[in-house]
Amino acid sequence: MKQIYFDNAATTQIRDEVIDKMTEVLKHNYGNASSSHSFGRSAKALIEKSRKTIAGYLNVSAGEIVFTSGGTEADNLVLQSAVRDLKVEHIITSKIEHHAVLHTIEQLENEYDLTISYLNIDASGTVDFAHLETLLNTPKKTLVSLMHINNEIGNILDIKKVANLCQSKNALFHSDAVQSVGHYKLDLQDIQLDFLAAAAHKFHGPKGVGFAFIRKNSGLKPLIFGGEQERGFRAGTESVHNIVGIEEAIKKSYDNLEKESKYVKSLKLYFIEQLKAKVPTVKFNGYSGNLEKGTYTLVNVCLPVAPEKAAMLLFQLDLKGIACSKGSACQSGSTKGSHVLAEILNDADMQKPSIRFSFSIYNTKEEIDYLVDVLSELVNT
């Protein structure tokens, strides 16, 4: 049986070059980066080189990159410290954010006297900028938290527009950019946001490492206390091999971005064309079927399948060797439906199966042909 992986928005295959770099560090650079001897200095030098490399690709200073265990920790660091230490009183977000943001905000609302405002979004999942501007007209200290690319429907937010609006209203802006770092160029001198979260495993790096971009002199304080690692922002012995892994992954992603993004985009376009031909009544959720307003890495399809047949569709795809997701991988084990799709789909479409297929450089057109044939067979029989 074929084994085909179309769940790259959940996590990606690690590049061989990344594995090689990490293995080399695990073998030879095992010192604690906080130690003053040569083994420690060697490890510390690797960390600072990685920090400088990542900062260079984002056009920021090295001191503004703080390594974390991933995007979730980076989101938590920013949101919790913004409320606790920066005295943010008002958070503006949307109901289609990742749960790393939504659940953190819910917890903060339980602990602090906060005002939480949820932006209006339309049936495509697009943020209402007029509503955002209205909500920003407040004397309260405000933080806006909106993701750059939605992990379920792929919509791309104009984060420069949001950043400019926040600046004009003296509000802070945080963006979960987990689905865009490594896939889109981000110049953070041009885009004046305050905070950003990223994770290595979304761009062919290792799991368990990511970073927060924290604009200089933000006033943010640590979430994890202990030693003075990460310039005091995150205590705990650094995972040197993972940090070198994220450096190598981001280097390979951005150095090959033009060629690789063109290839993955061609796979997405081919999938859309072939699926429309075999299943004409298919719908594409949000802007996932759009190559300009949606990311080139994923498609979220609503299939014309009766509710009684829908429940088993993911299982049937898995039996055919196809890995994909119902919404995000973070909730695929849950009996609850997608909170994102619940906000944008009508009741009839919510009864049909919606599945996210996400692509990478390791996929092929032959795999797409197989996927479309399987989907066509499952839908039409």
Task: Provide the edge-to-edge strand list for the sheet that holds 115-118.
Answer: 65-68, 210-214, 195-199, 172-176, 142-145, 90-93, 115-118
Identified catalytic residue from 166, 302, 324, 330? 330
Say if strands 195-199 and 172-176 run parallel, antiparallel, or are unpaired: parallel
Whether residue 213 contacts residue 58, with contact meaning beta carbons closer than 8 Å, is answered with yes
β-strand partners of 325: 356
Please give the distance of CA 235 from its chain centroid, rounded to a whole number.
24
Q: Give the containing element (helix H, strand E) for 67.
A: strand 65-68
Start-to-end CA span in the chain (Å) = 21
For residue 22, the tally of other CB atoms under 10 A from its CB is: 23
Alpha-carbon gap, residue 125 to 160, rounded angstroms? 18
Alpha-carbon gap, residue 70 to 211, rounded angstroms? 6
What share of residues in the chain are helix, strand, coil (percent, to 5)?
Answer: 45, 15, 40
Spatial CA neighbour of 322 closest among 273, 260, 378:
378
Could you say which DSSP state residue 18 is in? Answer: H
Alpha-carbon gap, residue 196 to 218, rounded angstroms? 13
Query: Taking the alpha carbons of 210, 212, 213, 217 in that order, is the dihedral positive or negative?
Result: negative
For residue 222, the tally of other CB atoms under 10 A from its CB is: 19
User: Would you call 125 exposed, middle or buried from its count of C-beta atoms within 10 A (0-12, 13-18, 19+)?
Assistant: buried
User: Would you call 283 exposed, middle or buried from its count of C-beta atoms within 10 A (0-12, 13-18, 19+)?
Assistant: middle
Could you say which DSSP state residue 334 is in? Answer: S
Is 330 tagged catalytic?
yes
Q: Residue 224: phi, psi to the nearest 5?
A: -110, 125
Alpha-carbon gap, residue 199 to 231, rounded angstroms? 20
- Residues tagged active-site: 330
